[in-house]
Structure 1
């Protein structure tokens, strides 16, 4: 009888130990997953910010806001992974409870932010275009850094004006800049065949839309996955 009780006790202890090891192992896997995803989010955000920041003041009116928020979220996720990993390794209940609460809050924020980013290109279309018009109107005036940013953008993206080259004369009351020329050395700016015809708003949207949508989808998927971790 005593032997049976001892065996039963040892079996229960073995199950308990196995459960603990499984939970600790799962926690560590979860933390590694979070750190990996966090690194991915940081990389995607950095691509968007790098593509935008080279044009200086042109994007301070909103197009960088969401990628920066996602970059911050990626940093938080990565740090959170290390925090949870330390809690699991030290078996610190307080750290693990704190980790669980932060993950729950972060899940809600990521889901909302992901939906916002997915809708962002459509929602912010008019706002971004109006901001670009306002900035292009300052071309060639006191702010030389802004002028250089516009020239850099038109050269790199092979675009001219906000909507098309005619914006320079009709909207901005300015001659078409040399940065609109296909051949910068020899260009007749009155000849449509020698200047870029695509508007810079369309060029910017095409350049950033794919990565921005990827950020939105990543944030949504990450939020859903975290709900089950």
Structure 2
């Protein structure tokens, strides 16, 4: 049983390292400013993937600690490993549940942020303008619910759409386009909300599931650590 626990703990923690790195990678991708979501997410919205990123880093560290402790059968390291895992287990479960539940409010958060950001289109920050054009043109969408949303945004005094809305995108192609009777043939008419909500929900659900799986594996790891420590204590009593 001790041998099974030792190598089982090593294999499980090797998997934890891999999965922890995966969580870190996915969460870091969301946090990158140049991603599809970067320009639309507020600091509050960033707290969810940031929590997953921190949890992933901790789990990766713990995976390395568990592998080392299992191979060396170092009871001090294993005890430290078990204590840290127990302390972080609640955090990991909380983050996982938060990621899964968070999807219920995705649309409301996105709408709020999209209104703010779209009103900054064409302003002093060219980075925001370029990002909005990139998002709309590459996802074939325009506005929040549809291209007519641009009537209510600051850009173009209610007569223009973002250049990224144009099917044939060129600089200034969206100017006064809302007054063109053939506007629906020239721009993408569908809104961006449905696509962005679906895409972000998929990422959050994936992160949540991975994080909860990691929590389950950590519980199994703690059990094996206890078995290894117990067997080590029995061995020392026999040789004394």
* Equivalent residue for 2:162, pick from 177, 192, 209: 177
* Structure 2: segments with no counterpart, 5+ residues: 222-240
Contact residue 52 and residue 64 of structure 1 kept, 8 A:
no
Counterpart mapping for 1:140-179 below 5 A: 140-172=122-154, 173-174=157-158, 175-179=160-164
Rg larger in 1 or in 2? 1
**Partner of 1:133 in structure 2?**
115
Distance 1:133 1:94, change over 3 A: same
Contact residue 24 and residue 57 of structure 2 kept, 8 A:
yes
2:213 is the counterpart of 1:228? no
* Structure 1: segments with no counterpart, 5+ residues: 1-18
Distance 1:201 1:140, change over 3 A: same
Q: 1:13-41, CA deviations, whole angstroms, 9 ceiling, x for partnerless residues?
A: xxxxxx54343223222322322322332
Counterpart mapping for 1:39-50 below 5 A: 39-49=21-31
Counterpart mapping for 1:93-108 below 5 A: 93-108=75-90
* Equivalent residue for 1:58, pick from 34, 40, 43: 40
**What is the count of residue pairs matched by the alignment?**
211
Q: For the residues of structure 1 that align with 2:37 and 2:18, how far apart are their CA atoms?
A: 30
Q: For the residues of structure 2 that align with 1:154 and 1:41, how far apart are their CA atoms?
A: 28
RMSD of Structure 2 on Structure 1 (CA): 2.5
TM-score normalised by length of structure 1? 0.79
Q: For the residues of structure 2 that align with 1:117 and 1:51, how far apart are their CA atoms?
A: 20
Runs of 4+ with >6 A deviation = none
Contact residue 180 and residue 195 of structure 1 kept, 8 A:
yes
Contact residue 145 and residue 193 of structure 2 kept, 8 A:
yes
Q: For the residues of structure 2 that align with 1:111 and 1:38, how far apart are their CA atoms?
A: 14
TM-score normalised by length of structure 2? 0.76
Q: For the residues of structure 2 that align with 1:220 and 1:52, how far apart are their CA atoms?
A: 28
